[in-house]
């Protein structure tokens, strides 16, 4: 019976200490301006700024220069149709190709349409004619807009020429003449073709991880500066167990980021009209292991932080690489094998892959089981590593406290002996 009471008392003490640590961590968070900025202000404002940049979704009215050496009806028809496209805009008419290239060199134009003198003459002779399209390949979206517009206009004019020469009598014959083999383009996902719908979901998930790294790291730096012996864990009877310390701190971060993650994943996309096909229940189940793995991952990193400034440098250095290795901005199959292994250590890799499918493809939790299980494995492994690191911190703190007490006791003994 005494053992049962002792066990119950230990459990009660553990819960009491965990709640105490949670309350202390909350106080530290709200009093520390640096931590508060990265836990609250940055997650609230940064997604809005980043999403605002991509509200146009696609590039429109890319500036193009024209060099028309043909001065024919056909070249003018090509230019009119090209300029009528929403993706490109004719802004300069040049007398020579070198003049047009100078405009591209000064970035006043992103492409050039060049019509040779024999442009229409070759068509009239039943010969193939060419339009030279020069594109600035330093920015792929400009190239895509110019090239696709030129291809579409060339296809329309080719169809008109074929119909004129075929001598058909019905519309159906004209359709078969210009398109003997046709195809239907069906956009399954990201039907808007927007760059924002492609990139923003991945960035939002990465923001959760990086702000957690910053906030937890700054909090750890503050603790080392304030605590005795510059250790992460203070000397206190409440900080007397590994699990109660880790769970108390992580509970504080989880409660804050449960609200922040709901805002980032559900509210921000709707503010800017981005595609959001999420199911709230599946999202909640998926975000739980993701947040836990990010929290424990951040606590592991914070154990290596001696000063507050170090974590800022670390996050600045890792933000873009973490996005690249996630497989969103660059295909996962094209990433070197070494970096694929590295990416599996980062929670945002599985978080981004799972969230992108749930947000843009209407995937349910069962469709992202691989990522879901990987996040739970990461959360469990990182929890154990965090406990081991904090155990080491507690042992260091106790040893230094014992050494301090011994030194004080020896000093007092020496004073007594001197007095006698």
Q: What integer is the mean pLDDT of 122-149?
A: 85
Q: Looking at the structure, tell me whether residues 10 and 139 fall in a common domain.
A: no
What angle (nearest 5°) sits at the alpha carbon of residue 242, between those of residues 34 and 20? 60
Enclosing domain of residue 201: 2-54+194-409
The domain tally of the chain equals 2
Averaged pLDDT score across all residues of the chain: 82
Distance CA 134, CA 131 (A): 10
Run of H or E including 278: none
Distance CA 77, CA 74 (A): 5
Residue 20 pLDDT exceeds 90:
no
CA–centroid distance for 401 within its chain: 44
Residue 5 pLDDT exceeds 60:
no
Residue 180 pLDDT exceeds 70:
no
Residue 337 pLDDT exceeds 50:
yes
Q: Looking at the structure, tell me whether residues 224 and 305 fall in a common domain.
A: yes
Looking at 149, 178, 207, which one is the last position of a domain?
A: 178
Residue 139 pLDDT exceeds 70:
yes
Looking at 127, 149, 178, which one is the last position of a domain?
A: 178
The answer as to whether 347 is a domain residue is yes
Query: What was the pLDDT predicted at 415?
Result: 61
Give tens-digit pLDDT for 367-384. 999 999 999 999 999 999
Give tens-digit pLDDT for 85-119. 988 999 999 999 889 989 988 888 999 999 999 88
Provide CB contacts within 8 A for 163, sequence distance 6+. 174, 177, 178
Q: Looking at the structure, tell me whether residues 109 and 172 fall in a common domain.
A: yes
Run of H or E including 224: helix 195-226
Query: What was the pLDDT predicted at 377?
Result: 96
Looking at 178, 208, 228, which one is the last position of a domain?
A: 178
Provide CB contacts within 8 A for 302, sequence distance 6+. 216, 217, 219, 220, 221, 232, 311
Q: Looking at the structure, tell me whether residues 383 and 307 fall in a common domain.
A: yes
**CA count, 13 A, side-chain hemisphere, 124:** 7
User: What is the pTM for the complete model shown?
Assistant: 0.78
116 phi and psi angles, rounded to 5 deg:
-70, 165
Distance CA 383, CA 292 (A): 9
The answer as to whether 392 is a domain residue is yes
Strands 111-115 and 62-68: parallel
Q: Looking at the structure, tell me whether residues 41 and 97 fall in a common domain.
A: no
Tokens matching residue 1: 């019976």
Q: Looking at the structure, tell me whether residues 116 and 171 fall in a common domain.
A: yes
Q: Looking at the structure, tell me whether residues 253 and 275 fall in a common domain.
A: yes
Q: Looking at the structure, tell me whether residues 251 and 379 fall in a common domain.
A: yes
Residue 350 pLDDT exceeds 60:
yes
Contact present, 80 and 112 (Cβ < 8 Å)? no
Count CB-CB contacts under 10 A for residue 76. Answer: 14
Q: Looking at the structure, tell me whether residues 221 and 285 fall in a common domain.
A: yes
Residue 230 pLDDT exceeds 60:
no
Distance CA 101, CA 99 (A): 5
Strands 132-135 and 62-68: unpaired
Dihedral sign, Cα of residue 398, residue 401, residue 406, residue 407: positive
Run of H or E including 64: strand 62-68
Query: What was the pLDDT predicted at 25?
Result: 82
Task: Compute the chain's Rg from CA coordinates.
Answer: 32
Reported as a pLDDT band with limits 50, 70 and 90, residue 169 is low
CATH of the domain at 94: 3.40.190.10
Query: What was the pLDDT predicted at 1?
Result: 42
22 phi and psi angles, rounded to 5 deg:
-60, -45
Closest C-alpha among 232, 254, 382, 398 to residue 303: 232
Distance CA 326, CA 332 (A): 7
Contact present, 277 and 359 (Cβ < 8 Å)? yes
């Amino acid at each position: 019976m005494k053992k049962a009471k002792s066990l119950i008392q230990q459990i009660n003490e553990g819960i009491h200490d965990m709640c105490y640590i949670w309350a202390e961590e909350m106080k530290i968070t709200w009093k520390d301006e640096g931590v508060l900025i990265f836990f609250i202000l940055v997650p609230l404002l940064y997604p809005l700024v980043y999403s605002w940049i991509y509200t146009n979704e696609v590039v429109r009215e890319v500036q193009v220069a024209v060099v028309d050496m043909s001065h024919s009806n056909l070249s003018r028809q090509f230019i009119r149709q090209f300029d009528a496209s929403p993706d490109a805009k004719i802004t300069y008419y040049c007398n020579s190709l070198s003049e047009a290239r100078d405009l591209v060199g000064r970035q006043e134009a992103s492409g050039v349409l060049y019509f040779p003198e024999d442009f229409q003459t070759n068509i009239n002779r039943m010969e193939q004619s060419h339009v030279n399209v020069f594109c600035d390949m330093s920015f792929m979206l400009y190239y895509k807009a110019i090239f696709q517009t030129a291809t579409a206009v060339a296809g329309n004019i080719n169809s008109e020429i074929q119909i004129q020469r075929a001598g058909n009598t019905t519309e159906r014959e004209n359709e078969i003449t210009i398109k003997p083999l046709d195809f239907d383009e069906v956009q399954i996902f990201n039907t808007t073709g927007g760059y924002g719908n492609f990139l923003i979901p991945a960035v939002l998930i990465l923001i959760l991880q990086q702000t957690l790294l910053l906030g937890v790291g700054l909090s750890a730096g503050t603790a080392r500066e304030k605590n005795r012996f510059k250790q992460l864990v203070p000397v206190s009877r409440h900080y007397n167990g590994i699990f109660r310390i880790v769970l108390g701190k992580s509970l504080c971060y989880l409660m804050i980021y449960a609200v922040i993650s709901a805002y980032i994943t559900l509210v921000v996309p709707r503010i800017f009209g981005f595609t959001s096909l999420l199911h709230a229940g599946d999202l909640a189940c998926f975000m739980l292991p993701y947040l836990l793995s990010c929290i424990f991952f951040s606590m592991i990193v914070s154990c290596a932080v001696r000063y507050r400034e170090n974590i800022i440098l670390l996050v600045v250095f890792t933000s873009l690489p973490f996005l690249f290795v996630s497989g969103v901005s660059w295909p996962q199959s094209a990433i070197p094998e070494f970096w694929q292994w590295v990416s599996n250590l980062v929670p945002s890799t599985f978080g981004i892959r799972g969230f992108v499918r749930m947000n843009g493809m209407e995937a349910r939790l069962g469709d992202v089981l691989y990522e879901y299980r990987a996040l739970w494995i990461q959360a469990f492994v990182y929890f154990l590593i965090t406990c081991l690191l904090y155990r080491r911190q507690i042992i260091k703190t106790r040893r230094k406290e014992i050494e301090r007490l011994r030194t004080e006791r020896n000093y007092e003994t020496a004073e007594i002996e001197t007095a006698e």
